[in-house]
């Protein structure tokens, strides 16, 4: 299946770029995919998935978690502050921490729960006005504000501009992460995950190359 091909390409890219074998986590992005396609990837043994919408994830993953052990679900879409509590119930990682109001809300919720999902700060590396994410020149300040709130950060995430070579964006994200002592790098999608691995990606988010094209209703 396509999953095996993508895993083989990830392992080959790790070897080619001197990365530790198995050090890159494949997040299979299952948003908007029919349940039977998601189930076949689960049945094939894959356990790490990505979702973009809280409501969609809520309708899908509690049932799959009952049937398949050790599933981990990563939120990779924009997160509304009023859905933060529900997100903490649903997700093992949130890749889209992108503004002070969300950091404040998560910090308050995490205080009372005592547990926190992995958190990635989304950086708008292309400074695109329509795109979510912290602007690169505000990243250091935002990261230290999160740390002041006792939010444990795993790393940084980016979605490069569609019409540009992603490589400089991946390099920029890696530089920002290293400067801030963060080891996680969530970058690379179906079309560019090997380039992302070359630049140090620890998490690649691959959807259509595994599941096929998404059919939006
Ligand atoms: C949908 C999505 C992906 C997966 O995109 P593909 O091109 O299908 O691999 C990865 N990251 C984010 C943030 C997404 O929204």
* pLDDT value at 205 more than 80: yes
99: left (phi over 0), alpha (psi -120 to 50) or beta: beta
pTM over 0.85: yes
Looking at ligand 1, which atom is closest to the CA of residue 76? Answer: 13
Q: In the chain, where are the structural domains located?
A: 2-211
Per residue in 118-166, pLDDT (tens digit) is 999 999 999 999 999 999 999 999 999 999 999 999 999 999 999 999 9
40-92 per-position pLDDT tens digit: 999 999 999 999 999 999 999 999 999 999 999 999 999 999 999 999 999 99
Does domain 2-211 bear CATH number 3.20.20.10?
yes
List, in order, residues 6 or more apart from 56 with CB less than 8 Å away: 31, 32
Average confidence (pLDDT) over 182-190: 98
Residue 114 Cα to ligand 1 middle (Å): 30
Mean pLDDT of 192-205: 98
How far does residue 122's CA lie from ligand 1's centre (Å)?
A: 14
Confirm or reject: Cβ of 166 under 6 Å from ligand 1.
no
Ligand 1 atom nearest to 193, measured from its CA: 9
Neighbours of 87 (CB within 10 A): 22
Give every CB contact of residue 188 below 8 A, 6+ residues apart in sequence: 166, 170, 194, 195, 196, 197, 201, 204, 205, 206
Question: What is residue 216's predicted lDDT score, i.e. its pLDDT?
Answer: 73
Ligand 1 in reach of 94 Cβ (< 6 A): no
């Amino acid at each position: 299946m396509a999953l095996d091909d993508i895993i083989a390409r990830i392992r080959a890219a790790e070897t080619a770029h001197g990365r530790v074998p198995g050090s890159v986590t494949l997040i299979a992005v299952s948003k908007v995919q029919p349940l039977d396609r998601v189930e076949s990837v689960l049945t094939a043994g894959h356990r790490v998935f990505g979702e973009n919408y809280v409501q969609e994830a809520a309708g899908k993953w509690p049932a799959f978690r009952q049937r398949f052990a050790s599933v981990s679900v990563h939120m990779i879409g924009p997160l509304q502050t009023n859905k933060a509590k529900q997100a903490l119930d649903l997700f093992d990682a949130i890749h889209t921490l992108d503004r002070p109001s969300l950091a404040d809300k998560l910090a308050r919720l995490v205080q009372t729960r005592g547990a926190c999902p992995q958190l990635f700060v989304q950086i708008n590396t292309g400074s695109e006005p329509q795109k979510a994410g912290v602007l690169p020149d505000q990243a250091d300040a935002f990261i230290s504000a999160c740390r002041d709130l006792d939010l444990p950060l795993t790393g940084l995430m980016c979605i490069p501009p569609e019409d540009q070579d992603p490589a400089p964006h991946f390099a920029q994200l890696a530089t920002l992460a290293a400067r801030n002592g963060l080891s996680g790098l969530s970058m690379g999608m179906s079309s560019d995950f090997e380039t992302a691995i070359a630049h140090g990606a620890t998490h690649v988010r691959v959807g259509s190359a595994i599941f096929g094209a998404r059919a939006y209703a």
